[in-house]
């Protein structure tokens, strides 16, 4: 029940203020811990990066584990309500949908506005993208972050309760800040590999949900593994490939990958359809996770 209530809180109120947001606190820790880390030698950078990651994960798990113990002593209705309040900041569905909507709305003004808005949610250079490429990037972000920022934290909550969702969110934040090649190659390697591991199952659940929300389910399901393999990431290609196939649009990152290359260039209508399918996927998967946690071996976390 806490999962569904947390989704309702997210829909009604969105994100808490930054000064109260636990993911912002995680980012502050990682920024401080990572200061000067890539400048160490490869072995020391890897050792310290791993140690700082583990220390942060232990702190997060301990804090949320203690909260879970305290809440379990309360009346059920209060336990469920407060658990939902603590779970909400660990995922961000409303914000994700809103950012993609904002990109599409900005495109109706002019291409430069669309590029500038897209730059707020992707790391690639957006200055030379045309309107179709802006939509492609926005849809890729929608699919990938549906898995990383919504389905994955709810999945780990369903299995391990608040500590599971919180440690996952810490891991995902660490990957976003440290998990790069080049200068951060060794300092962020442990963070990047851990994030890959924690997203293996959620990424595929997200992909399946997106495919089931669209037409021609069986036909596109057969094509999904081939499309997913076109990306270097072991996980992001699954939800992105699923959305591309579901909408029958192409999604590309120049000189890196191209998904469903025979699909059409995405239109405003495709973006709207993608948003509907992403939201439907989030709610259906959340409901299934809640039911699974309630009636499975982890009863009580839902």
Could you tell me the CA-to-CA distances from 90 to 67, 70, 112, 158, 172 in Å, in that order?
14, 19, 32, 13, 11
Per-residue confidence at 68, pLDDT binned at 50, 70, 90? very high
Per-residue confidence at 298, pLDDT binned at 50, 70, 90? very low
Per-residue confidence at 301, pLDDT binned at 50, 70, 90? low
Which of 296, 278, 2 lies closest to 145, judged by CA?
278
**What is residue 215's predicted lDDT score, i.e. its pLDDT?**
76
Residue 228 pLDDT > 90:
yes
pTM to 2 decimals? 0.94
**What is residue 217's predicted lDDT score, i.e. its pLDDT?**
81
Would you state the structure tokens that stand for residue 13, as one six-digit string? 């109120």
Judging by beta carbons within 10 Å of its beta carbon (0-12, 13-18, 19+), is residue 1 exposed, middle or buried?
Answer: middle
User: How many CB atoms within 10 Å of residue 58?
Assistant: 12
Residue 300 pLDDT > 60:
no
**What is residue 302's predicted lDDT score, i.e. its pLDDT?**
60
Judging by beta carbons within 10 Å of its beta carbon (0-12, 13-18, 19+), is residue 126 exposed, middle or buried?
Answer: buried
Could you tell me the CA-to-CA distances from 269 to 104, 108, 242, 257 in Å, in that order?
10, 13, 17, 24
Contact 171, 203 (CB under 8 A): no
Residue 297 pLDDT > 80:
no
Distance CA 179, CA 3 (A): 29
Q: What is the 8-class DSSP label of residue 54?
A: H
Mean pLDDT of the chain: 94
Would you state the structure tokens that stand for residue 133, as one six-digit string? 């490429």
Per-residue confidence at 296, pLDDT binned at 50, 70, 90? low
**What is residue 299's predicted lDDT score, i.e. its pLDDT?**
44
Q: What is the 8-class DSSP label of residue 264?
A: B
Distance CA 58, CA 68 (A): 15
Residue 214 pLDDT > 90:
no
User: Averaged over 103-108, what is the pLDDT?
Assistant: 96
**What is residue 1's predicted lDDT score, i.e. its pLDDT?**
87
Distance CA 209, CA 281 (A): 5
Residue 213 pLDDT > 90:
no
Distance CA 157, CA 280 (A): 19
Distance CA 271, CA 108 (A): 13
Percent of the chain with pLDDT over 90: 89
For 11-31, b/e burial (b = at least 16 CB within 10 A) is eeeebeeeeeebbebbbebbe
**What is residue 76's predicted lDDT score, i.e. its pLDDT?**
92
Give the model confidence (pLDDT) of 238-280 as tens digits.
999 999 999 999 999 988 999 999 999 999 999 999 999 999 9
Residue 125 pLDDT > 50:
yes
């Amino acid at each position: 029940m806490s999962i569904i209530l947390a989704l309702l809180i997210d829909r009604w109120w969105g994100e808490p203020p930054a000064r109260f947001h636990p993911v912002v606190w995680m980012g502050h820790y990682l920024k401080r811990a990572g200061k000067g880390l890539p400048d160490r030698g490869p072995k020391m950078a890897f050792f310290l990066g791993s140690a700082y990651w583990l220390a942060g994960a232990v702190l997060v798990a301990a804090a949320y584990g203690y909260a879970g113990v305290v809440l379990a002593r309360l009346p059920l209705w209060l336990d469920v309500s407060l658990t939902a309040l603590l779970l909400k900041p660990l995922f961000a569905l409303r914000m994700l949908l809103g950012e993609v909507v904002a990109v599409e709305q900005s495109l109706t003004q002019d291409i430069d506005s669309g590029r500038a808005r897209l730059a707020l949610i992707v790391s690639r250079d957006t200055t030379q993208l045309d309107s179709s490429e802006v939509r492609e990037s926005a849809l890729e972000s929608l699919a990938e972050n549906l898995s990383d920022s919504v389905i994955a934290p709810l999945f780990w909550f369903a299995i391990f309760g608040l500590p599971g969702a919180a440690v996952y969110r810490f891991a995902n934040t660490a990957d976003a800040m440290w998990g790069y090649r080049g200068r951060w190659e060794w300092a962020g390697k442990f963070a990047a590999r851990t994030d890959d591991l924690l997203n293996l199952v959620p990424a595929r659940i997200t992909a399946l949900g997106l495919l089931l929300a669209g037409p021609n389910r069986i036909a596109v399901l057969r094509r999904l593994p081939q499309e997913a393999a076109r990306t270097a990431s072991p996980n992001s290609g699954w939800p992105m490939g699923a959305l591309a196939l579901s909408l029958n649009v192409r999604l590309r990152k120049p000189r890196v990958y191209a998904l469903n290359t025979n699909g059409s260039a995405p239109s405003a209508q495709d973006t709207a359809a993608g948003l509907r399918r992403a939201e439907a996927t989030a709610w259906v998967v959340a409901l299934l996770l809640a039911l699974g946690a309630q009636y499975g071996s982890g009863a009580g976390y839902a």
